[in-house]
Amino acid sequence: MSFILLLITFLIIPVTSYYLWIWSYWIRKGVRGPRGLPFVGVLDKFQDFYKPPGLILRDWTKQTYGQTYGITEGVEKTLITSNSEFVNEVFIRQYDNFYGRKLNSFQGDPNKNKRMHLLVSQGHRWKRLRALSSPAFSNNSLKKVRSTIEDSALEVMGYLEKVADTGVYVDFLEYYQEFTMDVIGKIAMGQTESQMFNNPLLPKVKSIFSGSRWTFFIAGVFPISGVFLRALFTKFTSIQPAFFLLDVIEKAVTARIAQREADVAKGIELGEPRDFIDLFLDAQAGVEFFSGEMGKEFAASQAGKVDKHLTFDEIIGQCFVFLLAGFDTTALSLSYTSYLLSLHPDIQKKCQEEVDRECTTPEVTFEQLAKLKYMEWAMKEAFRLYPLASL
């Protein structure tokens, strides 16, 4: 018994010393900032859904610590700054050294994890994924899914017209979330029919943005747990919504591959991509992992050609990006714009008059959209008042 107690003591002392060393890092450097608690730092303060980290950092910057200060998030040491010269030094002059996002261990190793996507990849892998993703947002690619987006837009307008006739208040966000999810489901998740207001995946998607962040908290305090959590959620996808949605996308991509192979066997040409799954499958590589990118020096000045291919897992990850980058941002952008237009009926009238003047055909074309300058100004003003980018 005494041996066990002695062993536990010898384990506790180095572990505690390590965490205290991390926690006191900024104190030793003479950098001010909120200290938080040993082991967790300020990570516990970033778990409140109703006050996200960006707002907390804003308050600390404006009210307490000034432009530059240091925090610890579990074992991560982070320097916060709003000094323009400092920001320019990091993002412009030393871009070669600071090109990657700050990641939590729960998100996996950006070099070794097979199912990495554009938002969390780094170095040459990020460069390759970006080169493959950029064409998805070109005018030519967007024109191919225009009719899909328009169908969903007309459907949500029908729902809005029905509720408008009742004279009750409308929660625009609810309707725009349904619209956005319907579009993403059709163009990136293999959905064939409309599931608006009857989409079983929508609660899962909402929970990614509004649910508990306990996994990031645990992985932030105990980085090694990230590996085990990922393995657990990969095995039991229903536990964690993001892994559940990745499983749904994997099944959709697998089904599309089988369909394309069957079409080729019948002598049917694949033709132009009909959605983003097809677009990414056209770039599929015959390997499981691009191991040659690991540890390869990255520099913005390098002009080497990028291998424009994706692995099977990367295709799934790229489709998942549409959920992460498109769902909340699009729904909120439309909601804020609609809210501001309702407060300013004179601006709303000018936007409507411009639409009536320029969009004279039943189907709105890209050329007509390009002429809606006043509408564009109104939306950009909404984005200025309610910016979506994190601080």
**Range from 120-124, 168-172, 230-234, 256-260 carrying the lowest mean pLDDT:** 120-124
Q: Which residue has the higher pLDDT, 118 or 307?
A: 118
Residues 6+ apart with CB under 8 A from 251: 190
pTM: 0.83
| Run of H or E including 221 | helix 214-221
Residue 340 pLDDT exceeds 90? yes
Q: Which residue has the higher pLDDT, 385 or 213?
A: 385
pLDDT given at position 166: 85
Angle ∠(13,226,74) on CA atoms, nearest 5 = 50
Contact between 116 and 128 under an 8 Å Cβ cutoff? The reply is no
Cα(4)–Cα(6) distance, integer angstroms: 5
Q: Which residue has the higher pLDDT, 368 or 141?
A: 368
Domain parsing of the chain, residue ranges? 29-94, 131-343
Q: Over the stretch 346-369, which tens digit does the pLDDT of each residue have?
A: 999 999 999 999 999 888 888 899
Contact between 212 and 241 under an 8 Å Cβ cutoff? The reply is no
Decide which of 4.10.110.10, 1.10.630.10, 3.30.9.10, 1.10.3720.10 is the CATH code for 131-343.
1.10.630.10
Residue 391 pLDDT exceeds 50? no
What mean pLDDT value characterizes the chain? 86
Whole-angstrom CA distances from 260 to 177, 251, 257, 310 are 31, 14, 5, 17
Mean pLDDT to the nearest integer, 317-327: 88
